[in-house]
Amino acid sequence: MRLRTLGDVRVGAVGLGTMPLSIEGRPDEARAVATVHAALDAGVTLLDTADSYHPPGGAPGEGELLVSRALASYGGRTDGVLVATKGGRGRTADGGWTVDGRPAHLRRAAEESARRLGGTPIGLYQLHKPDPAVPYAESLGAIRELIDAGTVRLAGISNVDTERILLAREILGDRLVSVQNRYSPAVRESEAELRLCAELGLAFLPWSPLGGISRSSLDGASALEADPEFGGFHRVARERGVSPQRVALAWLLARSETVLPIPGASRPETARDSAGAAGLCLGPEELALLDGRPGGAA
Ligand SMILES: NC(=O)c1ccc[n+]([C@@H]2O[C@H](COP(=O)([O-])OP(=O)(O)OC[C@H]3O[C@@H](n4cnc5c(N)ncnc54)[C@H](OP(=O)(O)O)[C@@H]3O)[C@@H](O)[C@H]2O)c1
């Protein structure tokens, strides 16, 4: 698989988001592990998780432990695999998501994540979401301390605007290597953040990169090409003989050299199909169609 850069690390241009393997609706252990193995077989070397990826009522870190077990049981090489985890969020018993950016919480959370992932340093530790109750600089200060203490090697931030990216760069210096925001054919609000990352050489990891293109969209291509939102993606998919999800990921990769999509999957087939996007280079006319409105209309 072609590679992209995260700080001083080179990883496969398409990663794997492991949230669907870890939260409510997750598959059984065998299928979850097979999904991670299918991604690794296809050249994926960036696995995204978080300490909060567990079902409601579950224990923090279930997702990280799953990733660790999948890596331990993989038959091939794993020394080039970068596990990117996150801290600063939690779950409520009724399925909600909480945020906690207090430095004391982040220090403890990172140490626990490191233990679950096999020791320090954590390859990439991402501050999951700004906590409105804590000045962002204070949360970032805790990440800086974790870097200085050797608990974390590289840092990322998530769910942020351009101002916070610049602040994080001031505090974390060249250890800040990535920004993870929601971005997909349907949700393009983070365009300014994507552009700033390209300018600064930071990796931009679009989360929920497929948001909106459902699995059923694989069927009935001609009707779907009339879809005002995703018609362009279905048309290119039909012409190329690939899934619209693969087209969406190839379009994301073409947005900038620093984009690294992390599509989620709960089945080996979808993990494999998404990884194939790294080998799909869209032409200027296809990109112009997809760059316009999501459906491709002018
Ligand atoms: N930082 C944050 O706040 C934040 C928030 C949300 C997510 N994330 C991260 O971003 C990752 C991706 O987001 P996501 O998992 O929410 O959504 P997503 O990647 O947009 O969509 C995942 C869904 O798309 C399906 N899919 C994936 N590849 C496909 C393909 N090639 N063909 C057909 N269907 C395909 C999967 O189906 P199957 O289940 O059938 O395989 C899965 O249900 C997460 O796993 C997580 O690591 C971060």
User: In the chain, what are the domain boundaries?
Assistant: 3-214+249-280
- Which residue lies with its CA nearest to atom 11 of ligand 1? 17
Q: Which of 270, 273, 274 to mutate to test the pocket of ligand 1 (most atoms within 8 A of CB)?
A: 270
Q: What pLDDT is attached to residue 215?
A: 52
Q: What pLDDT is attached to residue 183?
A: 97
Q: Which CATH number, 3.30.420.40, 3.10.129.10, 3.20.20.100, 3.90.1640.30, labels domain 3-214+249-280?
A: 3.20.20.100
Q: What pLDDT is attached to residue 292?
A: 84
53 is catalytic: yes
CB 31 within 8 A of CB 266: yes
Q: What is the pTM of this model?
A: 0.96
**Ligand 1 touching residue 18 (CB < 6 A):** yes
A 10 A CB-CB count for 247 gives 27
Q: What pLDDT is attached to residue 226?
A: 74
- Which residue lies with its CA nearest to atom 47 of ligand 1? 17
Q: Which atom of ligand 1 is nearest to the CA of 277?
A: 31
Residues facing residue 16 across a β-bridge:
47
Assigned token pair, 171: 């505090």
Q: What pLDDT is attached to residue 231?
A: 87
Q: What pLDDT is attached to residue 97?
A: 98
Q: What pLDDT is attached to residue 217?
A: 44
Q: Which atom of ligand 1 is nearest to the CA of 249?
A: 31
**Ligand 1 touching residue 52 (CB < 6 A):** no
- Which residue lies with its CA nearest to atom 33 of ligand 1? 215
- Which residue lies with its CA nearest to atom 36 of ligand 1? 265
Q: Which atom of ligand 1 is nearest to the CA of 206?
A: 10
**Ligand 1 touching residue 64 (CB < 6 A):** no
With a cut of 50, list the residues of the chain below it in pLDDT. 216-218, 294-298
Q: How far apart are CA 249 and CA 35, in angstroms?
A: 18
> Which helix (H) or strand (E) element contains residue 203?
strand 203-207
A 10 A CB-CB count for 111 gives 16
